[in-house]
A and B are shown apart, each in its own frame.
Chain A
Amino acid sequence: MAKDRVLLVDDEVDFLEALAERLQRRGLDVTRATSGREALTAVAEQTFDAVVLDLAMPGLDGIETLRRLRELQPNLQVMILSGRATVQTAVEATQLGATDIFEKPTDVETLVERIRSARAARLAHEDEVAKEHIDEIMHTKGW
C-alpha cells in the first residue's frame, strides 16, 4: 500500500526537519516546504493526502497560503499547526476549508492519525467524483 503523502510547511527549519523525521519514522511520505510559495509550487506539481501548515511565516502567511492552496485544489485537506492561533485566525482558517487546527506543541500520534484520516477523505472524495463522472457518461450516452 502506498504511503500517506503529506506536505509539511513551516519556516522554522529545525522544527520542520525534526517533525518531518518523526512523521517519516511513522511511515509517512513527507515533503518539506519552508514558505508559502514553496508549498504552492509543491502542490502544483505533486499530489498530497494532506498539508500541515504553519500560520506565521515570512512572505505569504499561512492564511494567504491556505487561500491559494484551496484555489489550486479545492478539496485539498489542509491542517493548521501553529504556535499561537487566535480565535479570529482559527475561524478564518476554518472558513477557508482547513480541516483541523492544532496548537503547537501537538501530540505527534494525533497528527499522524489525522493525516491518515485525511487520506481516506481524499480517496472517498475522488471515488465520489469518479462515480458522478460515470453517472454523467451513462446518462448522456443513454446506456
Chain B
Amino acid sequence: MPMSDEPQRRLEREGALFFGSVGAGLSHELSNVFNIINELSGLQQDILAGAAQDGTAGLGRVADLATRIKTQVIRGEEINRCLHHLSHTVDKEETTFDLGEKLALLGSLAARAARLAEVELRVRSPESPIVHLGDPFALLLALHGCVTTAIKAAVSERRIEIWSESGADGVRVIIRSADPIPQLESDTPTAAAIDAGCAALSVVPRIEPASEGGHRIVLALSGVSTEMA
C-alpha cells in the first residue's frame, strides 16, 4: 500500500542520509583495500628491484605478496557486493525477500562502526530461510538505526547479536546487546532514521531486558512471512 506524502518524504530524507552514511563507510573500506594493494604491489616492485641488483630471485616473496593481493581483491569484491545489494533494496517498496540475507547485509553495513567501537557484532542465520513480504529498504533503515544505537551504548561487554524468530504471531527481528540499551532518544539523526523506517513498516521497536542479560530491541514485523521448510 503506498504511503502518504509526509511519511514518504521522511523515508526518502532519512533513506538518503542512511545511504550517504553507509556509502561513505563502504567507500572508506574500499579505499583501505586499494591502499593495501598499492603498498603490496609497491613492495613487489621493491623486491624485484632489489633482486635485479643483487642477483637474488625473491620469487617466493613475490608469490606471497600476490596471494595477499588476491585476499584484498576478494575483500574488495565482498564490499562491492554489499554496496550492490544495498542499492537494489530501493527497487520496490513492497517485494518478497529473504530476511536472513537482509540481516547478513545489515551485519556487513554495521561492521565498520562495530569494529571502530571495538564491539563484536554477530548475525545469526535463521535455521530455515524466512521469506518476508515488505519494504526491504525501510527494514534496513530501521534496523541499522537500532544497531547503531546498540553499538553506541555497548561500552562494557561490547557484544551484539542479531537474529530473527518465526512464531505463530509472525516474524520478529531481535538485536541483543550484552550491555544495557537506552530508550531511543528523540531528535537525534539515528532516532529519525528509526522512526522513518518503522513508520514505513508500521512497526514500533520495543526495548526490553534480555533473559540472557543485557537488553534487546525487538521489531515484530507486520506483513506476510513464510518460513521455508
Residue numbers of A with Cβ under 8 A of B are 12, 14-15, 18-19, 21-22, 25, 56-59, 61, 83-84, 104-105, 108
Contacts and interface: CB of A to CB of B under 8 A. Distances in A.
A43 to B, nearest CB: 21
A104 B35 contact: yes
B127 interface: no
B228 interface: no
A25 B50 contact: yes
A22 B118 contact: no
Is the contact region of chain A dominated by helix, strand, or loop, or is it mixed? loop
A83 B31 contact: yes
Contacts of A25: 46, 50
Nearest to B31: A83
B32 A83 contact: yes
A104 B30 CA distance: 12
B56 to A, nearest CB: 13
A56 B118 CA distance: 12
Contacts of B115: 58
Interface string B197-213: 00000000000000000
B28 A105 contact: no
Contact of A59 (B32, B50, B118): B118
Interface residues of B, number: 22
Contact of A22 (B32, B34, B39): B39
Interface of B: 27-28, 31-32, 34-36, 38-40, 42-43, 46, 50, 65, 68, 71-72, 115-118
A40 B35 CA distance: 25
A15 B35 contact: yes
B39 A15 contact: yes
B118 A12 contact: no
A14 B36 contact: yes
Contacts of B35: 12, 15, 83, 104-105
17 contacts: A12-B35, A12-B36, A14-B68, A14-B71, A14-B72, A18-B39, A19-B39, A21-B43, A22-B42, A57-B116, A58-B117, A59-B118, A84-B31, A104-B35, A105-B34, A105-B38, A108-B42
A10 to B, nearest CB: 9
A58 B28 CA distance: 14
A56 B40 contact: no
Contacts of B42: 18, 22, 108
B79 to A, nearest CB: 13
Given A18-B36, A22-B46, A104-B35, 15 more contacts: A12-B35, A14-B36, A14-B40, A14-B68, A15-B32, A15-B39, A18-B42, A22-B43, A25-B50, A56-B28, A58-B117, A83-B28, A83-B31, A83-B35, A104-B38
Contacts of B40: 14, 18
A12 B43 contact: no
B117 to A, nearest CB: 7
Contacts of B116: 56-58, 61
Contacts of A83: 28, 31-32, 35
A61 to B, nearest CB: 8
